Amino acid sequence: SESLLGQKNELLFKFLVIGDFGVGKTSIIKRYAEGTFSSVYKMTIGADFAIKSLMVDENTLVHLQLWDIAGNERFGSLTRVYYKYAVAAAIVFDLSRPETYHSVKKWLSDLRRKVTLQNEEPLPVVILANKGDVNYCNIPNEIVDFCKEQKILNWFITSAKENTNIEAAFECLLQAALHNH
Ligand code: GTP
Ligand code: MG
């Protein structure tokens, strides 16, 4: 039946945002879902989520459930629970802390080991090189090859602070989720 808004279809997609502590996962989600940014670091405990709703065509309303998973959860056993029913993921690292890029591989293997789509295909993934506004940033030169080898959809230099490429990154995951739906 048609809702009050008049659209005919309503979809819910669960997206994961993962990566080491302090790389900017909460900030990226806040920027995208609420349009705000704070420079005060408040560590996420466990997991949290936000909803972003958008019309993808005149008949279809999509609710993106953005799961914000605490960086320190990679060392816990709960990620399997948090990953359940996810249809796409963004793996974030911090351009000003190279060690967080090395963790991208660990997050990706944790993800690939624990979750696949219903059709057994791997989850669509993008990599976000965040804090691109910080001027001492170093882009890892093997990232292009890594993305190709690992079938990463795309990678983006992002800034939650300056709102750079955040929408583009989620749009990429949204298109993949719509395609797989
Ligand atoms: P955990 O919850 O511990 O896993 O961390 P997180 O990945 O959620 O990081 P969070 O979003 O809390 O950001 C950590 C710190 O980095 C905060 O002080 C943010 O303000 C800052 N930060 C996040 N994104 C950016 C960015 O794009 N540019 C700059 N300059 N700072 C950022
Ligand atoms: Mg957080």
Distance 123 CA to ligand 1 centre (A): 25
Residue 124's contacts (CB-CB under 8 Å, 6 or more residues apart) are: 87, 88, 89, 153, 173, 176, 177, 180
**What is the mean pLDDT for each group of 10 consecutive residues in the chain (181 residues)?**
70 98 98 98 94 96 97 82 96 95 96 92 96 82 94 97 98 97 92
Distance 60 CA to ligand 1 centre (A): 32
HSE-up (13 A, CA, CB side) for residue 38: 8
Atom of ligand 1 nearest to the CA of 40: 18
- Which pLDDT value is given to residue 167? 98
Atom of ligand 1 nearest to the CA of 68: 8
Whole-prediction pTM value? 0.95
* Cβ–ligand 1 contact at 78 (below 6 Å): no
- Which pLDDT value is given to residue 137? 66
Helix %, strand %, coil % for the chain, to 5? 30, 30, 40
- Which pLDDT value is given to residue 1? 46
- Which pLDDT value is given to residue 56? 95
* Cβ–ligand 1 contact at 46 (below 6 Å): no
- Ligand nearest to C-alpha 30: 1
Placement of tokens 């948090």 in the chain = 82
- Which pLDDT value is given to residue 76? 73
Nearest CA to ligand 1 atom 11: 24
Buried b / exposed e over 6-36, threshold 16 CB at 10 Å, is eeeeeeebbbbbbbbbbbbbbbbbbbbbeee
* C-alpha 124 chain-centroid distance: 10
How many Å apart are CA 57 and CA 54, to the nearest integer? 9
Helical packing angle, 166-180 and 25-34, nearest 10°:
80
